[in-house]
Amino acid sequence: MAQAQSAADARAAAQTRVRFELLTELVRKDLKVKYKNSALGFVWSLANPLLYLGVFYLVFQVFLPNGVDKFAVLFMSGFLVWTFFNLSTLSATGAVVGNANLVRKVRFPRIVLPLSSVGFAGVHFLLQLAVLFAALAVLYRDAFGPQLLLLLPALAVAVTFTVAMSLLASSLNVRYRDVEHLLEVALLAWFWLTPIVYPVTVVRDQLASRGQQWLFQLYMANPVTAVVVAMQRAIYNRPVVNGRQILPADGYGFYLTWLGVAGAVAVVLLGVGLWTFRRLQADFAEGL
């Protein structure tokens, strides 16, 4: 009995190792293909966030000043993690469909396809985050303090929720091709419903003035909102600036509580995503 269990454990370990190696190779391949024959290579991964930064800086600091000191830091703190989520989810949605020939002809763990999209976006996110911190070391040293520990739970929730959405979207898109188009529209609305270009306190104050505090609770229950606000608190580190409240000054408990709620939602959705992917993957070849 013990030998049988040991053999089963060895097989499971071997399968896990094979999946990890295949996932790593797919991410490496995607990176090579994207930047093949490119003179600047990974530097291009910074172009999109820098363009957004320039546009929103001009809009909210020059043309329509919003009064938020160091707005670029607040914006980038949330925007980088949003970019990771957005790129991962959209890429993963078409991961299985885009590899139709491979899925039909080769037997391999199909789950690595959406996961490779998350890994690909994760590499870009880490590069962008490294550049951000390099800039902060010169321009905004207030970011470096104990509050940076909030990054750990925030990133853990972000990765869990992103993987869950990627698995769910990639599997459903094989059967229902409208999922990809619907998700593009939904993510556009989702971006503006997340406090990236405006402080979260604006939403809280507006809803409180109307006696609709319960709507703010619902607003914060969005896992991406909880992650973005925690990232902003970890990096921007200035709840109150010049007498104006930019971020909730309710202590770290506020952020950890909502990250806990977001984490619970992410774990449940991950379970749903895994179940859906495993249930539908048997029909992938036929659906493609």
Q: What are 98-132's pLDDT values in tens digits? A: 878 877 877 778 888 999 999 989 988 998 898 88
The answer to whether residue 7 scores a pLDDT higher than 60 is no
127 contacts: CB under 8 Å, gap ≥ 6: 42, 45, 46
**Mean pLDDT, the chain, whole residue set:** 86
Structure tokens at 95: 């991961």
Structure tokens at 180: 């990809």
Q: Worst-scoring range by mean pLDDT, 26-40, 186-200, 240-254?
A: 26-40
How far is Cα 129 from Cα 82, in angstroms, rounded to an integer?
Answer: 12
Torsion-angle region of 242 (φ positive above 0: left; ψ -120 to 50: alpha; else: beta):
left
Domain count across the chain: 1
Q: % helix / strand / coil in the chain, to the nearest 5?
A: 80, 0, 20
The answer to whether residue 165 scores a pLDDT higher than 90 is yes
- Alpha carbon of residue 207 to chain centroid: 27
What pTM does this model have? Answer: 0.88
> What is the residue range of 221's domain?
2-287
214 contacts: CB under 8 Å, gap ≥ 6: none
Q: What is the pLDDT of residue 152?
A: 96
Please tell me what DSSP assigns to residue 248: -
How far is Cα 129 from Cα 124, in angstroms, rounded to an integer?
Answer: 9
Q: What is the pLDDT of residue 168?
A: 95
Three-class DSSP category at 240: strand
DSSP β-bridge partners for residue 241: 244
Per-residue pLDDT band for 6 (boundaries 50, 70, 90) equals: low
Per-residue pLDDT band for 60 (boundaries 50, 70, 90) equals: confident
Q: Rg for the chain (alpha carbons), in Å?
A: 21
Class of residue 63 by CB neighbours under 10 A (exposed 0-12, middle 13-18, buried 19+): exposed
Per cent of the chain over pLDDT 90 is 47
Measured torsion, CA atoms of residues 101, 106, 108, 111, in degrees rounded to the nearest 10: 10
Average pLDDT, integer, range 169-189: 93
Per cent of the chain over pLDDT 70 is 88
